[in-house]
Amino acid sequence: METGNITDKSAKTAALVVSIHDVSPVTRDIVTKILRRLEEIGVPRCSLLVVPAHHRRPDSDRDKAFVAFLQQCVRAGHEVVLHGYTHSDDRETYSSLRDFWVSRVYTAREGEFFQLDGETARSKLVAGMKMLKRMKTPATGFIAPAWLLSAEAEKVLVELGFDYTVRVGSLKDLRNGKEVLSRSMVYSTRRVWRRFVSLAWNEMLGRQLAGAPLVRMSLHPTDHRYGIVWKHATRWVEHFLTTHRPMTYAEFLGETRRTKKKTVDVALAGAS
Ligand SMILES: [Zn+2]
């Protein structure tokens, strides 16, 4: 991988958003290590995807060390994003074979908001927002576990005043419905073969993203456990830092609204 010449920071108009998924009391230690390393290589701010009651464990705000950690992160400039409620899809019945496959095989029952009706989505979102408020770490964005968000749940996000949501291929401004298309780099580490497919896929994707106005690197705590994956991810982050400015999703959205960067109207994108 070529790292290219380091350019003047002020000249960088393209953005790099590094997000860390599944932040909770369960993953606090490993997320701390990830943030430390990212800071060392030049990423001072990330979007932290917080799960209020990770896999039905006690609510995150009951863990004082976690609350202190999260508040410190916010003071340091990181952004808190609401990331589901339990992060689990606990359904036992499915509407179709595809529904079953996505839930049980593709996401290993992590797609909590994949087929959620509006009413259930609302109660989970309100409970999540309340918890973040109690921790004094409110969020303006919502990202569904496994990036799978039902249409009904998305409508509720708008009603509740969320600013944006993110899927694997785009960031959507919920105030005006506009999308910025950008495929995220992300690793799958559940099986050995998945890790190797992931490395090849991300190598290809990273090369395609050169020059993109928004580059996204979505990290999971498990990425840190596998040296080959972690090294690959951090090498690509370092590579993009030569041409892109690190920022959070909220900061990127703010800049997009101010500068009217290239966006794609959802209706137009769907029609093409
Ligand atoms: Zn997640």
Q: Which amino acid is at 47?
A: S
Q: Scan for tokens 């020059």, then name that residue.
A: 211
Strand partners, 265: 178
pLDDT band at 104 (very low <50, low <70, confident <90, very high): low
Q: Are 181 and 214 in contact (CB under 8 A)?
A: no
Phi/psi at 15 (nearest 5 deg)? -115, 145
Q: Where does the pLDDT of residue 88 fall: very low under 50, low under 70, confident under 90, or very high at 90 and above? A: confident
The pTM for the full model equals: 0.85
Task: Tell me what pLDDT residue 24 has.
Answer: 95
pLDDT score of 99: 61
Q: How far is the CA of 177 from the centre of ligand 1 (A)?
A: 24
Ramachandran quadrant class, 147 (left: phi over 0; alpha: psi -120 to 50; beta: rest): left
- Please tell me the distance between residue 8's alpha carbon and the centre of ligand 1 in angstroms: 34
Which tokens in the block code for residue 160? 């509740």
| Residue in the structure block whose two tokens are 């999260």 | 70
In this prediction, residue 253 carries a pLDDT of 96
The pLDDT value recorded for residue 217 is: 97
Q: In the prediction, which pLDDT does 60 show?
A: 86
The domains found in the chain, sorted by start residue, are 13-271 (3.20.20.370)
Region of poorest pLDDT, from 33-37, 84-88, 127-131: 84-88
Q: How far is the CA of 136 from the centre of ligand 1 (A)?
A: 22
215, pLDDT greater than 80: yes
Q: What is the pLDDT of residue 54?
A: 86
Expressed in angstroms and rounded, the spacing between residue 146 Cα and the centre of ligand 1 is 6
Cα 225 to ligand 1 centroid, rounded to whole Å: 16
- What is the overall mean pLDDT for the chain? 86
Spacing, Cα 193 to ligand 1 middle (Å): 21
Ligand 1 centre and the CA of 272: distance in Å? 30
pLDDT band for position 9 (cuts 50, 70, 90): very low
Is the pLDDT higher at 3 or at 203?
203
Q: How many CA atoms are closer than 13 Å to the CA of 112, on its beta-carbon side?
A: 24
Q: How far is the CA of 6 from the centre of ligand 1 (A)?
A: 33
CA 158–ligand 1 middle distance (angstroms): 21
> Residue range 177-193: average pLDDT?
89
Residue 97 pLDDT more than 90?
no
Q: State mean pLDDT over 171-181.
A: 95
Looking at residues 169-196, what average pLDDT do you find? Answer: 90
pLDDT digits (tens, 9 = 90+) for 137-163: 999 999 999 999 999 999 999 999 999
| pLDDT for position 91 | 52
How far is residue 61's CA from residue 160's CA, in Å, rounded to a whole number? 21
pLDDT of residue 4: 42
User: Residue 23 C-alpha to ligand 1 middle, in angstroms?
Assistant: 8
Confidence of residue 261 (pLDDT cuts 50, 70, 90): low
* CA of residue 87 to ligand 1 center, whole Å: 7
Average pLDDT over residues 26-40: 97
